[in-house]
Homo-oligomer: A and B are copies of this chain.
Amino acid sequence: MPTPARTSLTAIVAAGRSILAQDGLDELTMQRVAEATGVRAPSLYKRVPGRAALVRLVAADAVAEVGRCLDAVATSGDPVSELRGQAEELRRFARADPHAFGLVFAPPTEGRVVDPSLLAAAAAPVVRVVAELVGPEQALNAARTVTAWASGFLRMELAGAFQLGGDVDAAFDYGISLLVDALGRHVR
């Protein structure tokens, strides 16, 4: 006899993101997710193949959110200030949800990669803004440079890797200014 479902994939992923945000990846266990969704751990396997897949779904959810944020923030019409705004927006996200940010570019060897099409969608707003700055031919290379810098900087900042003193805010501003200036000069 059929039984009504007591949870759903979206509820599971939402619970996963909440636990990740609050207590980190190690605490993102099947048991805690089950508890948060009002079900027992074995029931989760009706919706999700296993923990690794769940972590990947949670990461994908975070990537999608980042993409929406990056898109929403680029509305001024001026590519230079839009690109700065996107960098600052990414920094805001990283600080608001550092565990989720840390999952975005986790190496595939740990079994946590995000679906390629989702990564592409999240990167699209940056490519769009950068294209206005350097033109379509170099847009991809330029967007990759900016994205690499921003994600690397934020990861280092979150990891507490800036240990040589100095003003980290100033270093962030130095970096984005250097890139924006260099890319702006790239136009012809």
Residues of chain A touching chain B, judged by Cβ–Cβ distance below 8 Å, are 24-26, 98-99, 102, 105-111, 113-114, 116-117, 119-120, 123, 127, 138, 140-142, 144-145, 147-153, 155-156, 158-166, 170-171, 174-175, 178-179, 181-183, 186
Measured CB to CB, the nearest residue on chain B to A151 is B152
Give A29 Cβ to nearest chain B Cβ, in Å: 14
Contact (A108, B160) CB under 8 Å given A138-B174, A140-B166: yes
Cα(A129)–Cα(B88), bound, Å:
28
Tell whether, in the assembled complex, residue B164 and residue A156 are in contact, meaning their CB atoms are under 8 Å apart: no
Tell whether, in the assembled complex, residue B109 and residue A102 are in contact, meaning their CB atoms are under 8 Å apart: yes
Tell whether, in the assembled complex, residue B107 and residue A98 are in contact, meaning their CB atoms are under 8 Å apart: yes
The interface residues of chain B lying within 8 Å CB-to-CB of A178 are 142, 145, 179, 182-183, 186
Contact (A159, B113) CB under 8 Å given A170-B141, A183-B178: yes
Cα(A160)–Cα(B148), bound, Å:
13
Number of copies of chain A assembled together: 2
Contact among B113, B117, B161 with A105 in the assembled complex (CB-CB below 8 Å): B161
Provide 28 A-B residue pairs closer than 8 Å at the C-beta atoms, listed in order of the A residue: A26-B110, A26-B111, A99-B107, A105-B156, A105-B161, A109-B158, A119-B163, A140-B165, A141-B170, A141-B171, A142-B174, A142-B178, A144-B153, A144-B162, A144-B166, A144-B171, A144-B175, A145-B171, A145-B178, A145-B179, A147-B156, A148-B152, A149-B149, A150-B152, A151-B156, A152-B155, A178-B179, A179-B182
